[in-house]
Structure 1
Amino acid sequence: MERRDILRVGAVSIGAVGFSGALWKEAFAAAAQPGPGPYGPLLAPDTNGIALPAGFTSRVVARSGRKVGTTAYTWHWAPDGGACFAEGSGWIYVSNSEIPLFGGASAIRFNAAGDIISSYRILANTNLNCAGGATPWGTWLSCEEIALGRVMETDPRGIKPAVERTRLGRFKHEAAACDADHRVVYLTEDETDGCFYRFVPDVWGDLDTGRLQVLCAPAGTTSGPVTWQNIPDRDGIPTATRSQVGAALRFNGGEGCWYTGGVCYFTTKGDNRVWAYTAATQTIDLAYDDSLVPPGTAPLTGVDNITGSPSSGDLFVAEDGGNLEICVITPDGVVAPFLRITGQDSSEVTGPAFNPAGNRLYFSSQRGTSGSSTGSGGITYEVSGPFRA
């Protein structure tokens, strides 16, 4: 799907400990600005067409329509949002498939040495699975980006069947972020007049029952106090979910969503902004606005999925458009390219996620060199190297 300018935030992998919200808020009191990145300049593209800083290497771990490693499993088309989960001494990377009607999600299991030991499907026959979010109890929320879209709770290990969580609302879902401190799940909506939601479960860890609420404030609010109101009909029929509460604050194309240390950061592609919702004070602020970056200087010119380093507090933002980069945003407010995919101008970068140790970064080129969402276009990569502690 289309993504454009913005950002400055990320989503932390399962088990990760990110910078506190207070530190992030202090660091980003002013808008992040272009500057020298912590990893240095990008070198010439490697044999996989990935330009990386010195000391980093890439490998291809899966291609759409082909077997994954030595496994018998064929990787899905149009890989999109993803996350990593600890699994014994290794880990699992899950990835959505943004394909109509047959989307779903797949997983790759790695051992402690990073070898691929299995691959398998964890969700099938769902529609345009774009982004989502990992839960503290070890499941993956896979979100449908369609009108009346659903959230499906899936098992990264592929043992338990996926469960439809319609209590989280039927709308054009994009991403989800779990706030274990306040026991809610935040949700973004990819509409030009979309809303920002939270689900308050009756029992934390069980998404089967609870209240769906929408963030409310006067139109045009960019900072200050907000309130939450219950959505009367979470099924969105006959009245769309976003149209049921007149006081709801509108957001122009909700995208990534990430929670840490009391603050939920979420992005809107239509106006190239990153918002910060502080749960304790129930206030919102603008963490980034591209109109505050000098024209022609922004290294980040698109937004898609986002993630965060488990240890350094660095954020990694994948571009859809621009020059197909993943940009790093440091806690001291510097934005710089971390990697660039070359020779794939009709694609987009999706699904960035760190393994639990924080020394391997996974991501995909959704349409690869072919520019096609079907067939063998999609490519899923791993980058390893001296990520900051």
Structure 2
Amino acid sequence: MKSNILVLLFLLTLSSCSKEDEKPEVIKSEAKEITTFEIEGVTTEIDGDIIKIYAPASLDFYYWKPTINISEKASISPVINVKVDFTNPILFRVYAEDGSFKLYTTELILLEGLQEIVLKLGSKDGKQIAVDRYLGKINELNNKIQIDYSGDAVERWESWELFPFLAIETTNDLETEPANNHFIDLSIKDHQLTIPGLDKTYELSIQSSDNFIKGINLPIRREFISSNFARDAFPEYIVGLEEDDILFYTLKNQDLTNITPDYFKISDYASITPDSSLPQDFSEDVVYTVTSETGVSKTRKVRVVEKNILMSNATNGAFSLSYTTNFFRYYIATSPIVDVELVNVETGEILGSEIWQNYETEDGRFYLQMVADEMPESKTSFFYRVTLEEGITVDTHGGVVFDPDGN
């Protein structure tokens, strides 16, 4: 009996050990697919084991960094972390967890269509073309074209009778509407470009990128030319300004705290804040934000410079030319001129002179006529050092250039 019990216990122990040694069978995944293959701005398609890349005609390069998704637990070779050239086929190998693999090959398909669209400026007879050109950005996925241009450049060239037109290139000379070299009205905002042969239409947006203050006038005492850009102004006036900020020159002793501009010009199709028709405190720099038609904003400052005297056309340091010792100038001032010295710009030497006439005109300006003691031997520039009736002496930015040879 005891012997039978021992045998039974041995068999039970043996059975228990064999169950513990058994392990469940691990089934490894055999999934090995490229599930998505995407390139920004380019249409792609996975067709069996071929990855088709449809390159728009507007591209002249085929370097991309694709976004690739594969089956769970699979791996891919090569792994692409940088832009690579897809001009020639690239072979991808996708490995499943079970060690099996699948091959995919890329195929670059060059599409027919729009290659390039450029906004140019030229004469109506086609004989003259401006150097400025604005390349369109073509978005094939959304069928949109955007051309950003400089309104200032267009305005400048139109004064030379060079007008905007579209230069259009297509594959196999496909016809477009509007046609190649079609002159275009930039004031019309809703444009389309159609390629009838491909039954394709693009939304065409042509917008000005300019965001400048182009001119301002304030209803205060000023000369005829009363403003300029900081890039053209004298250094003592432009501290803290950028080159496209505006300076406005006026006489001292005026209330500048609540002034509404009576003329304010910004870039075409741009917007501005604060409203330029509202009064501002111009005793300090006034900061405006000008937003271009393309949506790019830039802050622009307007600074009022107060002076005791403003010589006519001397905002940028203009000098009048004289072939004789007689010359004249208009000015406005906080008080009349009582004395003038002609100071040699190069040497600082004084050229003797005499005031012949100095009187106030009907428009509130002063007319100053002078005669120099002698004519310099060669072309020489002099600026005016004036003393006002109130006892102030000022070195002005205006002057005279004597030219004995009449050149």
Measured against the shorter chain, the TM-score band is under 0.3
**TM-score scaled by structure 1?**
0.20
**TM-score scaled by structure 2?**
0.19
More helix by share: 2
Highest relative contact order (Cα 8 Å, sep 6+), 1 or 2?
A: 1
More strand by share: 2
Q: Give the number of the structure whose alpha-carbon radius of gyration is greater.
A: 2
